[in-house]
Structure 1
């Protein structure tokens, strides 16, 4: 890991010295999509399919409902096939890639982990960016079921356990 790899907003967790690792922090952590959110996507898919069945006489409504059901079903299927979006241990991290694949990255392969915050239409969104130089992995609050700032702090602590230079 290169110097300055973890840049994040100040928080209580980031004010600790890098060598201070809390005893209660497990050496392996996983962040996954919320089960409730995945169930909601499945429910929306079922409702859209049922609406398509009842509105089969109207071609335009049927087409719109089928397309919406396929999109919602695709997202729901991804949540079922790859619920764990990020896993970390002292050897490195595993991130979800593509539709439902996984990629293992050693700490030395990661150039930078940072937070990206944006405000649009009065709403603030945060993304966790994991940059390997060749690829950029973006994970949202919905992917992680946790605040990206908290996940970045946990990744920094696990990376410190590994003994890899920052």
Structure 2
């Protein structure tokens, strides 16, 4: 970065908040809920066919389980100057102080022509993995913001 006055075309970056919260996309959450409803309706239409009914009920339960988790624990990651709060288990949360965080990194993989990223938060005894869908943001952007927040807290 350069110091000094901004040219007429440059604007200073807005100050980012000192706390960060990343949650599941409301649109993605609504899609999961809608899919659960569609599968439940499909189960009604397959009532005569036992095998299809069983498959539709299982699919409804799985989709409903994912949708319910989004409703119960929409915030997957929160950070402040003292540490992180990460989703743990089905819908619980775990507080992790910055001193417990050994590493934050982004894991990128390509499979079948698709690229996926995961945010990895390593506490030594636990590895928390969060996807773009969990964060509603690019994991690389979240990692940068976590580094910034950790630095503000003086634990960098």
Same fold, TM-score > 0.5, yes or no: yes
Give the match for residue 123 of structure 1: 114
Say yes or no: does 1:37 pair with 2:34: no
Say yes or no: does 1:156 pair with 2:153: no
Query: By how many angstroms is 1:46 displaced?
Result: 0.3
Structure 2: distance between partners of 1:133 and 1:121: 32
List structure 1 runs of 4+ shifted beyond 6 angstroms. Answer: none
Query: By how many angstroms is 1:25 displaced?
Result: 1.4
TM-score normalised by length of structure 1: 0.85
**1:102-117 maps to which residues of 2 (within 5 A)?**
102-117=93-108
Matched pairs, number: 146
Say yes or no: does 1:145 pair with 2:136: yes
Among 19, 24, 30, the alignment partner of 1:28 is 19
The gaps in structure 1 that reach 5 residues or longer are: 1-14, 17-21
Q: CA RMSD in A?
A: 1.4
Structure 2: distance between partners of 1:26 and 1:90: 11
Query: By how many angstroms is 1:64 displaced?
Result: 0.5
Query: By how many angstroms is 1:23 displaced?
Result: 6.7
Give the match for residue 94 of structure 1: 85
TM-score normalised by length of structure 2: 0.91
Give the match for residue 47 of structure 1: 38
Task: Say which structure, 1 or 2, has more relative contact order (CA 8 Å, 6+ apart).
Answer: 1
The gaps in structure 2 that reach 5 residues or longer are: 3-12
Q: Deviations over 1:55-82 (max 9, x none)?
A: 1000010010000000000000000000
Bigger radius of gyration among the two: 2
